[in-house]
Structures are given as C-alpha cells and as structure tokens.
Amino acid sequence: MKIGIIGGSGLYSIEAFNYTGEEKIDTDYGEPSAAFKIYEYYGNRYYFLARHGAGHEFPPHLVNYRANISAFKKAGVDAILSFAAVGGINADLSPGDIVISDNAIDFTNGRNHTFATKGNIHHIDITEPFCPELRKAVKKSCDSSGLNFSDKGVYICTNGPRMETAAEIKAFRGMGADIVGMTLFPECSLAREAEICYVNISVVANDAAGISRNKLTADEVVETVKKSEDKLKRIILNVDIDAVENRECDCRNALENTRISKGK
C-alpha cells in the first residue's frame, strides 16, 4: 500500500523506516514543494513530502497545495496523514499536546483552492473534512503508542505568515475554534476533490495570541515540534495498515453526484 505523509514545521523526515530514495513528480499545477522522500516498512511504501520545502522556503500562503496533492494522486497515494504545528486556543490544551482534528474553519484568502475549472465544476461535500476511517486508525495508533491526545478539535486556518492578533483569537474562540494554524486549507479540501483520504494530526506548539503572556516566536514552534518528533513518528509507525487499506469511507467517491456543469 502507498501512504502519503505531509510534514509541517519541524518534521522533515521519518528515519524510523527504510529510506529508499527520492522521487520527483511534476504536475499540471507546477512543481510540488519538494521531491518525495520514499520509505518502506513491512512491504508498504510511504511518500513523505515536506510541505514547506526541503529547506523550509515556502511560507504558508505560497505553498503550491494543488501541485502537492496532485503529485500524491499521480503517485497512486489514496491516504494522507498530514502533520501540522498549531497554536492552542482551547484553554484545556498545552504546548506539546496532540490533536486529531474533527472539523475545521477556512479563514484563508487568495489561495488556489480548487481543481475545478470552467466547464468542470464540482461542489464537493466537506461536512466532515477529515476521513473518519483514517481518524479511527490514528486514534488507535495513539492509544497503542501510549500517547495522550485529543480526538476533538476544530482547526481554524488563517493566511499567515504573520501570527494572529489577540482580538482575532478571541473571535475565533467565539466561533468554536480550538486550534489555529496556517496550512490546513486548501490542503484538506483539495485532497477531498482528488478523492484521497486525509487526516490532520496537529501538535500544539504554543498558546495562541492573547492566551500566551509571552511574545510568539517561530523558534518556539520548531522547538516544540522537535520535542514531539518521537511521538509523531510513533503515530506513523503504529498505524494499523490493514485498517487503512480496508477502510469503508466515502472519500474515494467524493466526486460522485457533485458535477454541476452541463458540458460533457
């Protein structure tokens, strides 16, 4: 089976597996953020992509999300585990906590957010933006790894690259957001359009603006993720591949009955 892994700030590899090399895949939407690092483990192949590039050169609003998801599709990947560093809004969350998001709010703008083109319009259902079967597999992996985690959490995605204001975080809390990040959209919705199962695993890197009494820095984000790196790799290592391979979700038929264009 082929499984996609997207690494965010601070997670750039998964050395626990057998590294076999790199694979560069060009797409109709340009070049992905980086070449895939290919790993093998018990006969399964893992395609690892550094979301921000091999040298972390792409800020959140300039990541070529369409090329990234398209490259996974061309590689034959139909399940993606996506990792991200986020700020904690919910008072019950602390730096280092793991959140398996169960819903999301898109607060971005100006990004190329769809594969839809003139004459090829699909209105996809994204009531649940994350694959329920992959979420179960990740929760089971966290349990078997002995990790503390939350399987509830609304991720609100902002444009970045700046951090949020205290007033924005206060408003987001009122909207029901638990964590805030900058990369979930359009990544998750493009995966749904591509009929690829997708799950988000977030690491709370710091308290969000107005909650933290300290100045927010990028250094603390990377440092916290680095400290959590072993946890994240254990999640990947212990995911039940049989459960992933035999999932019975609707993600792989996401475009069914969604086309509204009248053309052929």
Binding-site residues for substrate sit at 182, 206-208
- Output the known binding site for phosphate: 9, 51-52, 183
- Output the known binding site: 9, 51-52, 182-183, 206-208
Note the helical H segments in 131-260. Answer: 132-144, 166-174, 187-193, 218-237, 241-245
Number of Cβ within 10 Å of residue 164's Cβ equals: 23
Question: Helix or strand or coil: residue 91?
Answer: coil
CB 189 within 8 A of CB 126: yes
Note the helical H segments in the chain. Answer: 65-75, 132-144, 166-174, 187-193, 218-237, 241-245
Question: Could you tell me which of 9, 2, 157 has the C-alpha nearest to residue 83?
Answer: 9
d(CA 204, CA 181): 10
Question: Helix or strand or coil: residue 175?
Answer: coil
